[in-house]
Amino acid sequence: MPRCVANGIEIEYESFGSPTNPAMLLVMGLGMQLTGWDPELCALLAKQGFHVIRFDNRDIGLSTHLDDAPVPDPLAVLGGDTSAVPYLLADMADDAAGLLTALGISGTHVVGASMGGMIVQELLLRHPELVLSACSIMSTTGARDVGQPSAEAAAALVAPRAASREEAIKRGVEVWRILESPAYPQPEPVLWEQETARYNRSFYQDGPARQLAAILASPDRTPGLAGVTAPTVVMHGDADPLVNVSGGKATAAAIPDAELKIYPGMGHDLPPELWDSYVEAIVTNTRRA
C-alpha cells in the first residue's frame, strides 16, 4: 500500500476505483485499522463512480505511531485532567485534510464510522472547503448527555492489556460479540479470521488508548455543527451498545437539513447484510451536493 507525509506524520492509505472519479474518503473508528472498511464495501462504493480512499489514522495500523507520547489514563481525562493528552480529534481531522492535500484532492465526499464520524464532523468544522458531502455513522457530537456506552461496552474499552498474541485475538473476538449487531451476528470463524488478520497486519496497544483520550478530551461539536452547509446523512443502529443511538439523533439534529437513518437491530459494526442500504444512503446524499 502507498504512504504519504501529511500534517507531520506518515499515513498509510489505499484506494479503489479510478482517480479521475470524485473522491470519497473513508475514516475508521477507535483502534480500527483501514481494514475496518471491508474491501467489498469499498468496491461497492467505487462501482458507483467514486475514487474511494481508506487510510490508517495516526497511532494505528501502519501510519505513524507516536511512541514518545504519554498514554493517558481515561478516568483522569474524564475527571478533567488533560495534561497527558497528546492530541485531539481536531488534530486527526487535520491529518485527513493533509492526506487529501498530499493526494492533490481539493474536494471530497467523506464517510466516517464511530470515532471516524467524529473526525468527519471536525473536518466539517475545520476544513469545510474540502467537504462536498458528509456521512456520520454510529457516531456522536461530543455532548456528554448523548451517545454514551452501556456498562459492558465501556468496560471493554478499558480492559487490561493483552499479554500474548492468542489473548489479543481472543479478546478482540469477545469485544466484537459485545458490539456486534444483534440482528446480524457474524459467524464465529469470520470474527476469528478478521481479528487474526488485524493482529498480523499491526498490533499496537498504546495507540487506541491515546485515541480514546482524544475523544474524551475533545470539546462538544454541537454549536459548530449548526453552521454546516454540506449535505449530510447520519446513520445509526438502534441497538448500538458503544455509542447510544441518541448520539446519532443529536448529530442529525445539530446539522441543518441532515437526513437521519436509523437501522433496527444494528449495533456498533457494519454488517454485510446492510451494505447495499449503506451504499444507497451514501450515494443519494452525495447527489445532494
For residues 236-252, average pLDDT: 98
For residues 83-103, average pLDDT: 98
* 202 burial level (CB within 10 Å; 0-12, 13-18, 19+): middle
Q: Is the pLDDT of residue 112 over 90?
A: yes
> 250 with 280: CB under 8 angstroms?
no
Q: Is the pLDDT of residue 44 over 90?
A: yes
Q: Residue 241 belongs to a domain with what CATH number?
A: 3.40.50.1820
181 pLDDT band, cuts 50/70/90, is: very high
* 79 burial level (CB within 10 Å; 0-12, 13-18, 19+): exposed
208-236 pLDDT tens trace: 999 999 999 999 999 999 999 999 999 99
What value, to the nearest 5°, has the Cα angle with vertex 31 and ends 187 and 143?
Answer: 105
For residues 187-205, average pLDDT: 97
Q: Is the pLDDT of residue 205 over 90?
A: yes
Cell numbers given for 116: 471516524
266 pLDDT band, cuts 50/70/90, is: very high
For residues 157-164, average pLDDT: 90
Q: Is the pLDDT of residue 1 over 90?
A: no
Q: What is the number of alpha carbons within 13 Å of residue 163 lying toward its C-beta?
A: 1
CA 266 – CA 197 distance, rounded (Å): 24
The count of structural domains within the chain is 1
CA 209 – CA 46 distance, rounded (Å): 32
CA 213 – CA 9 distance, rounded (Å): 19
Please state, rounded to an integer, the average pLDDT across all residues of the chain. 97
248 pLDDT band, cuts 50/70/90, is: very high
How far the first Cα of the chain sits from its last, in Å, is 30
Share of the chain above pLDDT 90, in %: 97
Q: How many of the other CB atoms lie within 10 Å of CB of 207?
A: 26
Would you state the pLDDT for residue 158? 86
Residue-number span of the structural domain to which 111 is assigned: 3-287
The amino acid occupying position 3 is R
Would you state the pLDDT for residue 168? 97
Q: How many of the other CB atoms lie within 10 Å of CB of 161?
A: 10
Would you state the pLDDT for residue 157? 85
- Using the Cα atoms of residue 75, residue 80, residue 85 and residue 89 in order, give the sign of their dihedral: positive
Would you state the pLDDT for residue 2? 92
Would you state the pLDDT for residue 142? 98
Would you state the pLDDT for residue 108? 98
For residues 60-73, average pLDDT: 97
Q: Model's pTM, two decimal places? A: 0.97
Would you state the pLDDT for residue 159? 86
If DSSP states are collapsed to H, E and C, what string results for the chain? CCEEEECCEEEEEEEECCCCCCEEEEECCCCCCHHHCCHHHHHHHHCCCCEEEEECCCCCCCCCCCCCCCCCCHHHHHCCCCCCCCCCHHHHHHHHHHHHHHCCCCCEEEEEECHHHHHHHHHHHHCHHHEEEEEEECCCCCCCCCCCCCHHHHHHHCCCCCCCHHHHHHHHHHHHHHHCCCCCCCCHHHHHHHHHHHHHHCCCCHHHHHHHHHHHHCCCCHHHHCCCCCCEEEEEECCCCCCCHHHHHHHHHHCCCCEEEEECCCCCCCCHHHHHHHHHHHHHHHHCC
CA 207 – CA 43 distance, rounded (Å): 28
176 pLDDT band, cuts 50/70/90, is: very high
**Contacts with 229 (C-beta within 8 Å, 6 or more apart), sequence order:** 128, 256
Would you state the pLDDT for residue 254? 98
252 pLDDT band, cuts 50/70/90, is: very high
- From its phi and psi, is residue 68 left (phi > 0), alpha (psi between -120 and 50) or beta? alpha
